[in-house]
Structures are given as C-alpha cells and as structure tokens.
Amino acid sequence: MVTLRVNGQTHELDVDPQMPLLWAIRENLKLTGTKFGCGVAQCGACTVHLDGNPIRSCVTPVAAAAGRNVTTIEGIGSDNGLHPVQEAWIAEQVPQCGYCQSGQVMAAVALLASNAVPDDDAIDAAMKGNICRCGMYGRIRSAIKRAANPQLAEAVETFDPAAATEEMRHG
C-alpha cells in the first residue's frame, strides 16, 4: 500500500511502489488532466507539483511521492474558479490542441511561485522542458507575463460579440 496525498486528499493505493506517479494519478485516481507524452522526462506533459516543485511524474516512482503533497492541474484552481495563470492562458488564447497545456500551466505556476516577475531568460529556463508541438511558445510567454503583471499586459484583441450587440441595441 502506498499513501498518496493528491490535491489535498489522501488515498491508499495498492500499487507497485516503482510504478511512475503518472499512472497512479491517471489510472488509479482517474485524474486525467495530467498527460503521458514521452515516458522519459523529455516533454513535460506529465508535470505535477511535489511539495510545490515541478516534477516529471512519468519518471517519478509513486513511492517517492508517498506522504508528500502532490498537486495536479485539477488542484490549482481556487474554490471560486481558475488560477490566475489559467485565466491568463485564456486571455492570451494559448492552447491549440491543448494536450501539453496541463504541464505548461503547472510549470508556469511553479515558476511564478518562485519568481513573481520572471524575465525572458527565467521563462526560457523554467519552460524549456515543456514541448508544445503546436508551437504556442510566444503565447505561453505572453501569458506568463500577463499572470505576473495583469495590469501591464497588452490587451489581446478578442472580440466580444455580446458586448458589441449590447452597444448596437442601445446605441
């Protein structure tokens, strides 16, 4: 039996202690937001937090996480909604296929926790372990900066038809 604490909840799992944490999260706990991408810590799709630090769950034995705090993409939002990083991701319209994005968001949340206003070099260093085959790196960079400093973020030109139609009605 392995005791896992994930997103604040404790689970007793009857699994091989050497099994990577990724599969315990996905198959045993059915938290499928964390993704399998390479199995060898090369792509970052499986990134979760272990005691707040970003780790590659595809190469971390479940035993190494026992008794520690694991946080997944499902666990970062507040009770009221999304984490500011997730809100910035929507504002910048970051995801395309979306498959790598849980890992990207987890890496970005960890970065901002340790460096509130990261510069480009810090973003490169923290994010280069996460591959996005849709190539949305520019948007990820913008979203991290927006999350770090929302009031300085340049407005993204996204049309809101609801607001526009209101204007038409009353104007």
Partner 1 sequence: MGKWTRRAFISAGVVAGGALLVGVSIRPGKRHQGMAGLVAEDGETLVNAYVKIDVDNHVTAIIPHSEMGQGAQTALTQMLADELDAEWSSVSFMEAPAEDDYANWALGKGYLAGDADVPESLVPSLDGAFMAIASAMHMQITGGSLSVRTTGVTGMRVAGAAAREMLVTAAAEAWGVPPSEITTRNSHLIHEASGRDATYAEFAAAAGEMTPPRSPALKTPDQFRLMGKSVARRDIPSKVDGTAAFGIDADVPGMKYAAIIGAPVFGAEVASVDAAAAEAMAGVDRIVTLDNAVAVVADGYWRASQALSKVKVQWTSTPNDGLDSDAIFAQFDRDLDAARAGGESTADVEQGDVAGAFSGADQIVEATYRVPWLAHTCMEPMNATARVEDGTCEIWVGSQNPLGYRYEIAAALEMEVENVVLHQHFMGGGFGRRATPDTAIQAARIAREIGAPVKLIWSREEDVRHDLYRPAVMSKFRAALDPNGAVTGWENVYHEKHEPVEAPTIPYAVAAQHIHHTASPTHVPFGAWRSVDHSQHGFFTESFIDEVAVAAGRDPYEYRRELLADDPRRLAVLDMAAEKAGWGERLGPNQGRGIAIQSSFGSIVAQVVDVTVTDGKLSVDRIVCVADCGFAVSPNGLTAQMESGANYGLTAALYGNIEIEQGAVKQSNFHDYEAVRMDVSPRVETYILNSGEAWGGAGEPGTPGIAPALANAVFQATGLRIRELPFKLHDLRSPVETDEVELTG
> Is 142 an interacting residue with respect to partner 1 (CB under 8 A)?
no
Contact assessment for residue 101 and residue 92, using Cβ atoms and an 8 Å cutoff: no
Q: How many C-beta atoms surround the C-beta of residue 32 within 10 A? A: 14
> Is 128 an interacting residue with respect to partner 1 (CB under 8 A)?
yes
Closest approach of Cβ 78 to partner 1, in Å? 12
> Is 114 an interacting residue with respect to partner 1 (CB under 8 A)?
no
Enumerate residues 6+ apart whose C-beta is below 8 A from 128.
none
The interface region with partner 1, picked from 19-27, 49-57, 110-118, 146-154 by CB under 8 A, is 19-27
C-alpha–C-alpha distance, residues 159 and 3, integer Å = 48
Among 4, 29, 34, 54, binds partner 1 (CB under 8 A): 34
> Is 101 an interacting residue with respect to partner 1 (CB under 8 A)?
yes
C-alpha–C-alpha distance, residues 87 and 108, integer Å = 12
> Is 170 an interacting residue with respect to partner 1 (CB under 8 A)?
no
Residue 108 is given by DSSP the state H
Among 2, 29, 45, 55, binds partner 1 (CB under 8 A): 45
> Is 115 an interacting residue with respect to partner 1 (CB under 8 A)?
no
Residue with tokens 């900066």: 145
Which H or E run contains 141? helix 137-148
Which H or E run contains 5? strand 2-6
Contact set with partner 1 (CB under 8 A): 15-16, 19-20, 23, 27-28, 30-40, 42-43, 45, 72-74, 77, 82, 86, 89-90, 93-102, 105, 123-125, 127-141, 156-162, 164-165, 168-169
